[in-house]
């Protein structure tokens, strides 16, 4: 690990190995059923499309979470207490981070943990400028990697993990448990976690959120095909894949796929993959939880749900967890 001062921020660089898009895609497409990790949605185009998704009427998640934060942040800040270090895995939800930091009492430091060094430094510098009293200690690592919480200049009362956006829902339940447990271990016995968790509800509401009528989600999913062409030279003809999503009630998750519209063969790094019309590549799961289910998952990770805030319709929740 290297420590590097960059203007007002101190970077803790764990030199994560660069994500290997080609290797991961070849591995995923060779698996049964074939899949590509949803983390590959977020190149520049994909991130801009996700921003647009958060504004379509059907995608209730971001808007609802923001309204919960706006309404209940004073109570959340009281629960977290003064002199927190805020640790954010996969930094950069920007507005939510600013909302939280501006309500906390005398926060000691902000620690974004992010694999993209360039993005990490740019967003850390912007935040440091807005919060001149706050120590900003960006950590460059995969948040599943070996990083530790850097020691702030002033002693903290507790480390608080901020994980909004229902990102936890993109993981398989065992991965989610593992991540919560490892975050708790790194942050110590006095830690807290403020987590955005999307809730089970009328399946039609969920299905619509992942298939908006303006077609932004479709463009978001199909951008992955364009990435395969742009970055890996996959040579997939336009229209060869369509997007499809469905809410799987049995598994409590929304599923997104790329569906072949006709037979095709893709060559990638010496391997070739054949698809019949209708064949599906799994590209995203978005798990939804009942309050009981999430409490059980947290308990398996050694955490207790202490407080839950929800909107009036109980579409979404922000939950405060502490070690058992
Ligand atoms: C940002 C991962 C929470 O699963 O709801 C939105 C991503 N995918 N529309 C989600 C997403 C399609 C989103 N998360």
Report residues whose beta carbon is within 6 angstroms of any ligand 1 atom: 53, 61, 165-167, 169-170, 210, 217, 220, 284, 286
Is it true that the peptide bond before 33 is cis, omega within 30 degrees of 0? yes
The pLDDT of residue 93 is above 70: no
pLDDT, tens digit, 9 for 90 and up, residues 7-33: 999 999 999 988 899 999 999 999 999
Closest-CA residue, ligand 1 atom 9, reads 210
Calculate how far, in angstroms, residue 169's C-alpha sits from the geometric centre of ligand 1: 9
Mean pLDDT of the chain: 96
State mean pLDDT over 36-40. Answer: 94
The pLDDT of residue 219 is above 60: yes
The pLDDT of residue 75 is above 80: yes
The pLDDT of residue 92 is above 80: no
pLDDT, tens digit, 9 for 90 and up, residues 226-285: 999 999 999 999 999 999 999 999 999 999 999 999 999 999 988 999 999 999 999 999
3-state secondary structure of 96: helix
Atom of ligand 1 nearest to the CA of 50: 6
3-state secondary structure of 186: helix
Percent of the chain with pLDDT over 70: 99
pLDDT, tens digit, 9 for 90 and up, residues 191-211: 999 999 999 999 999 999 999
Calculate how far, in angstroms, residue 286's C-alpha sits from the geometric centre of ligand 1: 7
What is residue 94's predicted lDDT score, i.e. its pLDDT? 85
Radius of gyration of the chain (CA): 20
pLDDT, tens digit, 9 for 90 and up, residues 136-157: 999 999 998 999 999 999 999 9
Cβ atoms within 10 Å, residue 324: 10
What is residue 90's predicted lDDT score, i.e. its pLDDT? 87
- B/e letters for 223-260, b = 16+ CB within 10 Å, e = fewer, are bbbbbbeeebebebeeebbebbbebeeeebbbbbbbeb
Atom of ligand 1 nearest to the CA of 286: 4
Residue identified by tokens 């919480």 is: 149
């Amino acid at each position: 690990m290297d420590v590097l001062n960059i203007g007002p921020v101190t970077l803790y660089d764990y030199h994560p190995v660069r994500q290997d898009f080609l290797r991961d895609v070849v591995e995923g497409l060779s698996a049964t059923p074939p899949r590509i990790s949803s983390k590959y949605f977020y190149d520049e185009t994909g991130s801009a499309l996700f921003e647009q998704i958060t504004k379509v009427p059907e995608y209730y998640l971001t808007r609802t979470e923001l309204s919960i934060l706006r309404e209940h942040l004073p109570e959340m800040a009281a629960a977290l207490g003064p002199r927190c270090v805020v640790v954010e895995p996969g930094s950069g939800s920007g507005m939510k981070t600013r909302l939280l930091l501006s309500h906390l009492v005398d926060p000691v430091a902000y620690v974004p943990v992010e694999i993209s060094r360039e993005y990490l430094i740019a967003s850390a510098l912007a935040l440091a400028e807005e919060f001149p009293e706050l120590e900003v200690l960006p950590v460059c690592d995969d948040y599943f990697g070996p990083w530790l919480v850097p020691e702030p200049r002033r002693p903290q009362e507790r480390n608080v993990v901020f994980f909004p956006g229902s990102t936890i829902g993109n993981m398989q339940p065992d991965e989610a448990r593992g991540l919560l447990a490892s975050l708790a271990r790194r942050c110590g016995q006095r830690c807290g976690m403020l987590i955005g968790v999307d809730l089970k509800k009328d399946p039609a509401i969920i299905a619509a959120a992942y298939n908006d009528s303006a077609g932004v989600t479709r463009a978001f999913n199909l951008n992955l095909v364009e990435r395969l062409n742009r970055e890996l030279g996959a040579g997939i003809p336009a229209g060869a894949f369509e997007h499809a999503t469905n809410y799987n009630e049995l598994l409590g998750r929304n599923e997104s796929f790329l569906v072949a519209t006709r037979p095709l063969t893709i060559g990638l790094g010496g391997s070739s993959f054949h698809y019949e019309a209708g064949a599906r590549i799994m590209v995203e799961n978005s798990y939804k939880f009942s309050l009981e289910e999430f409490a059980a998952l947290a308990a398996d990770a050694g955490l207790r749900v202490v407080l839950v805030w929800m909107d009036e319709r109980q579409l979404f929740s922000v939950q405060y967890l502490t070690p058992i």
